[in-house]
């Protein structure tokens, strides 16, 4: 192949991967491999600028525009960033800056590079009015209603210094805990899992029903102001925070004067990489002096004054010794690669999920294969690719068993699902998983009742279904091999303790398909009591903010099975007492208040009570976490501090009006 043909092929390849990444949100190569592909294209383009195709991914921002959304023009183009992977590339970037400006006395704001979706956010007179995706850089998809469901993004800015128009740029992402839960639910529901948190965030942001987006619990961090008054990037976070916007914390950002300071920050962040609540893939380095940026300029698709310094992926090479099959709570069969143990990102890995048959076929994964595994945002590592050169000559394709490995019944491939399921309602493995799920920490939180203990109790025939947990007696437990008096008492005490629980936990613990902690909470807040929960209809469910069609159908199906109703009624009879809480829908809800000065109509504690009754919190000191200061007469230093921090201030009259 001539070099030109090679170039054309690489460009076509990159375009294909762009579409898989941005439109279908189902990439088939890693970000690292993609960046490598782009680097090869750039190399050829440097040698042969005359070959450069106008649609080469190096020339324009890859588009995420999708049907179903209105398109909106950006007030300023939304660009992408150049990537660097080495100290050398980073130092070239700084040197370029020196050359352009003819000086080296400058600074950079460095901050986390979140692996999420960029969004342009617009406030008018302090009100959130619009959110648009990057799109092709010039125009993007209008995702206002979906972004409105993001809880940490205020609908109303706070403070006294609100500009008429405030246009911001930030990153929408899925917190890792939510991502893990979403994928676990998807796996249980027999659906394709998301490859990483970024794809999950993209998929969630582009759902056509905002109620479903709300269920996903997206979050956002704002990192830039467009055409603002500020002169330095390093002032942006403090300013945005004073308006009540979510920004990087102090440890997630740093003002650096040179390459070695940038590298020091990068090193510290890379070490802490797994401690952040979201997935990051590097750091972003931005020229701090905003006025000088125009002078430094832009390339076709990225600014010359900023760059990303990306971390190498955490990968390891190992061998698949066996492929086993696990049966989940809802009967889904999941293939798991049993690996030769290998060190990866500080822990020893011996298993990787293979998700389903489609995934195995796509990557042609076989027993005996030497594979690259990678720790993405997921706790469980995944197989990235197979080294075909090392494949044993006698290997053959792997197929999902036709029968459930636990109960032996025929498995079923449900139309529209990627997974196969064991449909036997009394399958031992399914039942065991359901009981383990019920007792788990984030469900009924029954201490001392983990997988091992439940396995024994099920084997002995003492526990056949969930309600049997509450029928366990001291005599029965003492018969279980290895159970001493102390462990028997511990188990009985924690079973007893678990009876007092919240309705949200109880609903979640039932392990209903598609009902995660978030949906369970929304439902619990609406019904407030178990009997109302049992009477829920699809219409009622759809009225609940944040509940979509998938969740409501699944719940209606669950409640339609008399066996489930009987089991819930049994649990209640046995003393389980889930307490509901009525949702407080008041502007004070979730907000923190500080009271200062003398109020004429109420005493301090009376006013505090009014706030708490409306779902707010009362704190004694003014700080960045304060949402409102209620200032009575002769307010002193707290008022001054609140003004300085740009915190919203209410006088007594306003407070009384809002209370009503």
Active site residues: 113
Give 149's DSSP letter: T
Strand ranges, E, within 456-552:
500-502
Q: Please report whether residue 226 would count as binding ligand IVH according to CB under 6 A.
A: no
The alpha carbon torsion through 24, 28, 33, 34 (nearest 10 deg) reads -20
Closest separation in Å from C-beta 492 to ligand IVH = 51
Position among 90, 290, 308, 629 found at the interface with ligand IVH (CB under 6 A) = 308
Structure tokens at 198: 């970024």
Residues with Cβ < 8 Å from 642, sequence gap 6 or more? Answer: 594, 622, 626, 629, 631, 649
Residue position matching structure tokens 């492929």: 323
HSE of 7, CA atoms in CB hemisphere, 13 A: 19
17 binds ligand IVH (CB under 6 A): no
| Listed ranges 111-119, 329-337, 381-389, 649-657: which one lies at the site for ligand IVH (CB under 6 A) | 111-119
Strand 617-619 and strand 592-596: the pairing is: parallel
Distance CA 279, CA 269 (A): 12
Q: Is 81 in the site for ligand IVH (CB under 6 A)?
A: yes
111 scored as a contact of ligand IVH (CB under 6 A): yes
Taking the complex as a whole, the smallest distance from the CB of residue 429 to ligand IVH amounts, in Å, to 41
Strand-pair partners of 198: none
Residue 382 found at the interface with ligand IVH (CB under 6 A): no
Which of 17, 74, 122, 134: binder of ligand IVH (CB under 6 A)?
A: 134
In the three-class reduction of DSSP (H, G, I as helix; E, B as strand; rest coil), residue 432 is classed as helix
In our burial notation (b when 16+ CB lie closer than 10 A, e otherwise), range 118-142 reads bbbbbbeebebebbbbbbbbebbbb
Establish if 57 lies at the interface with ligand IVH (CB under 6 A). Answer: no
Handedness of CA 381, 383, 385, 387 (dihedral sign): positive
DSSP state of 243: T
Contact window for ligand IVH (CB under 6 A) among 302-310, 324-332, 363-371, 545-553? 302-310
CA angle 505, 507, 509 (to 5 degrees): 65
User: Is residue 329 close enough to count as binding ligand IVH by CB under 6 A?
Assistant: no
Residue 284 or 339 having the CB closest to ligand IVH: 284
Question: Min. distance of Cβ 311 from ligand IVH in angstroms?
Answer: 13
Question: Which of 284, 323, 443, 576 contacts ligand IVH by CB under 6 A?
Answer: 284
171 contributes a contact to ligand IVH by CB under 6 A: yes
Nearest Cα neighbor of 503 from 538, 531, 473 is: 531
Residue 114 sits in the site that holds ligand IVH (CB under 6 A): yes
For position 357 contacting ligand IVH by CB under 6 A, the verdict is no
CA 557, 208, 128, 308 torsion: positive or negative?
positive
Q: Binding ligand IVH by CB under 6 A: which of 27, 135, 197, 303?
A: 303
Buried b (16+ CB within 10 A) or exposed e, 489-517: eebeebbeebbebebbbbbbbbbbbbbbb
Q: Which of 40, 80, 156, 258 binds ligand IVH (CB under 6 A)?
A: 80
- Output the residue with the shortest Cβ distance to ligand IVH: 118
Q: Taking CB under 6 A as the rule, does residue 223 contact ligand IVH? A: yes
Number of chain residues interacting with ligand IVH (CB under 6 A): 16
**Short-list 211, 108, 112, CA closest to 171:** 112
Residues 6+ apart with CB under 8 A from 570: 467
CA distance 554 to 212: 14
237 touching ligand IVH, by CB under 6 A = no
Instruction: By CB under 6 A, tell whether 74 contacts ligand IVH.
Output: no
Say whether residue 113 binds ligand IVH (CB under 6 A): yes
Least distance between ligand IVH and beta carbon 84 (Å): 11
Position among 79, 129, 386, 528 found at the interface with ligand IVH (CB under 6 A): 79
State the residue for tokens 């987006």: 213
Instruction: For residue 211, state whether it binds ligand IVH (rule: CB under 6 A).
Output: no
- State the Cα–Cα distance between residues 116 and 303, nearest whole angstrom: 19
d(CA 95, CA 451): 58
Q: Is 11 one of the binding residues for ligand IVH (CB under 6 A)?
A: no
The β-bridge partners of 128 are 123
User: Is the CB of 301 or the CB of 532 nearer to ligand IVH?
Assistant: 301
Kindly tell me which of 195 and 458 has the beta carbon lying closer to ligand IVH: 195
Among the residue ranges 52-60, 75-83, 402-410, 419-427, the one whose residues contact ligand IVH (CB under 6 A): 75-83
Q: Measured between alpha carbons, how far is residue 456 from residues 461, 470, 551, 567 in Å?
A: 9, 16, 33, 22
The reply to whether 139 sits near ligand IVH by the rule CB under 6 A is no
Each residue 479-498 as x (binds ligand IVH by CB under 6 A) or -, in order, gives --------------------
With binding defined as CB under 6 A, does residue 304 bind ligand IVH? no
Q: Which among 73-81, 378-386, 439-447, 631-639 is the span making contact with ligand IVH, rule CB under 6 A?
A: 73-81
**Nearest distance, CB of residue 60 and ligand IVH, angstroms:** 13
Least distance CB 657 / ligand IVH (angstroms): 40
User: According to the binding rule CB under 6 A, does residue 18 interact with ligand IVH?
Assistant: no
> Which CB, 196 or 356, lies closer to ligand IVH?
196
- In the complex, which residues of this chain contact ligand IVH (CB under 6 A)? 79-81, 111-114, 118, 134, 171, 223-224, 284, 303, 306, 308
């Amino acid at each position: 192949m001539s070099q030109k043909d090679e170039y054309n092929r690489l460009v076509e390849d990159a375009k294909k991967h762009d579409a898989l990444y941005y439109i279908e949100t189902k990439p088939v190569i890693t970000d690292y491999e993609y960046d490598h592909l782009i680097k090869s294209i750039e190399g050829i383009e440097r040698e042969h600028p005359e070959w450069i195709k106008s649609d080469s991914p190096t020339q324009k921002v890859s588009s995420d525009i999708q049907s179903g959304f209105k398109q909106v023009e950006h007030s300023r183009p939304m660009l992408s960033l150049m990537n660097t992977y080495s100290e050398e590339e980073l130092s070239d970037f700084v040197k370029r800056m020196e050359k352009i400006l003819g000086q080296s006395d400058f600074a950079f704001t460095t901050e986390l590079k979140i692996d999420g979706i960029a969004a342009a956010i617009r406030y008018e007179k302090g009100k959130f009015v619009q959110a648009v995706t990057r799109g092709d850089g010039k125009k993007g998809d209008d995702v206002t209603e979906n972004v409105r469901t993001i809880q940490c993004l205020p609908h109303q800015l706070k403070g006294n210094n609100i500009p008429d128009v405030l246009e911001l740029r930030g990153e929408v992402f899925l917190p890792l805990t939510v991502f893990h839960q979403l994928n676990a639910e998807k796996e249980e529901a027999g659906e394709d899992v998301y490859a990483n948190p970024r794809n999950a965030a993209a998929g969630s942001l582009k759902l056509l029903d905002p109620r479903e987006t709300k269920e996903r619990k997206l979050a956002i961090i704002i990192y830039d102001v467009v055409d603002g008054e500020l002169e330095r990037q390093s002032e942006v976070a403090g300013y945005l925070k004073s308006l009540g916007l979510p920004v990087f914390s102090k440890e997630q950002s740093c003002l650096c004067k040179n390459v070695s300071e940038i590298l020091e920050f990068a090193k510290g962040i890379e070490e802490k990489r797994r401690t952040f609540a979201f997935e990051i893939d590097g750091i972003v380095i931005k020229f701090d002096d905003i006025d000088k940026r125009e002078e430094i300029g832009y390339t076709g698709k990225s600014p010359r004054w900023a760059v990303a310094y990306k971390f190498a992926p955490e990968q390891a090479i190992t061998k698949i010794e066996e492929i086993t099959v696990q049966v989940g709570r809802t009967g889904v069969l999941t293939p798991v690669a049993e690996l030769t143990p290998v060190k990866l990102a500080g822990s020893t890995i011996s298993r990787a999920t293979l998700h389903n048959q489609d995934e195995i076929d796509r990557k042609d994964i076989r027993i005996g294969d030497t594979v690259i595994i990678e720790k993405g945002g997921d706790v469980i590592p995944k197989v990235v690719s197979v080294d075909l050169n090392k494949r044993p000559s006698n290997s053959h394709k792997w197929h999902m068993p036709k029968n459930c490995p636990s109960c032996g019944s025929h498995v079923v491939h449900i139309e529209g699902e990627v997974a196969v399921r064991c449909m036997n309602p009394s399958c031992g493995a399914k039942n065991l998983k359901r009981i383990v799920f019920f007792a788990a920490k984030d469900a009924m939180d029954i201490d001392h009742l983990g997988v091992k203990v439940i396995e024994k109790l099920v084997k002995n025939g003492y526990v056949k279904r969930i309600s049997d947990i509450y029928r366990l007696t001291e005599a029965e437990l003492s018969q279980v091999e290895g159970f001493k008096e102390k462990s028997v008492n511990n188990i009985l005490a924690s079973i007893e303790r678990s009876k007092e629980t919240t309705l949200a936990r109880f609903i979640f613990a039932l392990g209903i398909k598609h009902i995660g902690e978030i949906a369970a909470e929304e439902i619990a807040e609406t019904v407030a009591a178990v009997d109302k929960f049992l009477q829920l209809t699809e219409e009622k469910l759809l009225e609940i903010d944040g509940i979509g069609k998938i969740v409501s159908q699944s719940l209606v199906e669950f409640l339609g099975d008399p066996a489930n109703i009987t089991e819930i009624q049994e649990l209640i009879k046995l003393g389980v007492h889930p307490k509901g809480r009525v949702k407080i829908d008041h502007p004070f809800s979730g907000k923190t208040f500080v009271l200062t000065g003398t109020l004429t109509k109420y005493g301090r504690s009376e006013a505090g009570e009014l706030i708490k009754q409306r779902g707010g919190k009362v704190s004694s000191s003014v700080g960045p976490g304060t949402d409102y200061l209620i200032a009575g007469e002769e307010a002193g230093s707290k008022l001054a501090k609140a003004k300085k921090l740009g915190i919203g201030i209410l006088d007594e009259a306003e407070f009384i009006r809002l209370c009503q």
